[in-house]
Amino acid sequence: MATVSQLFPPDAENRSVELTQCPYDHTPIEAEAWSGGSVVLSCPVCTAAWEWHGAWLRRVRDPERAKVLEARNGSRSSEPAT
């Protein structure tokens, strides 16, 4: 698996979408190029997945709710109190 930035470097012409973190738990998204020009984006933590083809983006796998809550709670507990 590659990261989104590896498949689409910053100097790439398509700069309209910057989906680099999971919208559910903010984990960096992994990307895999498929034949036909599609890219499958997936979150290694909550297992949500999206298919991206040109201007079309659709979710192909829902996130696992328990894993999302665990990731959110874990990131909050590691932050220092102010």
Report pLDDT digits (tens) over 26-67. 999 999 998 889 999 999 999 999 999 888 889 999 999 999
- pLDDT confidence tier of residue 17, bands split at 50, 70 and 90: low
HEC assignment per residue over 12-51: CCCCCCCCCECCCCCCECEEEECHHHCEEEECCCCCCEEE
- What pLDDT does 11 receive? 57
What is the Cα–Cα distance from 48 to 40, expressed in whole angstroms? 10
Split at pLDDT 50, 70, 90, the class of 73 is: confident
Q: Could you give phi then psi for residue 53, rounded to 5 degrees?
A: -140, 105
Count of CA atoms in the C-beta half-sphere (13 A) of 40: 12
Specify the amino acid at residue 65: R
Give the pLDDT score at 72: 82
User: What is the Cα–Cα distance from 24 to 43, expressed in whole angstroms?
Assistant: 9
